[in-house]
Amino acid sequence: MKLLIYTDGWARFNPGPAGIGVFIADENGKPLERRHKYLGIATNNQAEYQWALHGIRRGIELGATEIELRMDSNLVIEQLSGNFKIKNPELKIIFSEIQELLRNWTGKIQYIHIRRELNKEADRLSNVAMDEGTK
């Protein structure tokens, strides 16, 4: 089963209150799941990486044999793809967790950069998380 996983995470004031959101659809675009989570204080990149990790993990839990991880952060997509180096020590830790998760999975993953306007639902969910967490 192929899943399309749209993720977004960001922090207000960077660093600041951060939220993450994920929208999971089947390969035809039919919505399967929406999730969000407040992270506390984090940077934009920490939030993006956290939800890449959570999105991949959830896709595997749902039984995906193929995942298209779609994000509007070109930097994170390029780093996950191995095209850009990761300098931040905290991001390296999350990257290692993602790599470990993928080593124990027999499926295929693609990292796809999308324009922000194509990631509206994941963005909306990350805002919901921040709003809930800062009340």
Task: Give the H or E element holding residue 66.
Answer: strand 66-71
Mean pLDDT over 105-115 rounds to 97
SS3 for 81-122 is: CCCCCCCCHHHHHHHHHHHHHHHCCCCEEEEEECCHHHCHHH
> What is the dotted CATH code of the domain comprising 2-133?
3.30.420.10
For residue range 52-91, list pLDDT tens digits in order: 999 999 999 999 999 999 999 999 999 999 999 999 999 9
Instruction: Map out the domains of the chain as residue ranges.
Output: 2-133
pLDDT at 135 > cutoff 90: no
pLDDT at 134: 83
Residues 5-49 have pLDDT tens digits of 999 988 988 899 999 999 999 999 999 999 999 999 999 999 999
* Look-up of token digits 């950069």: 113
Q: Does residue 109 carry a pLDDT above 90?
A: yes
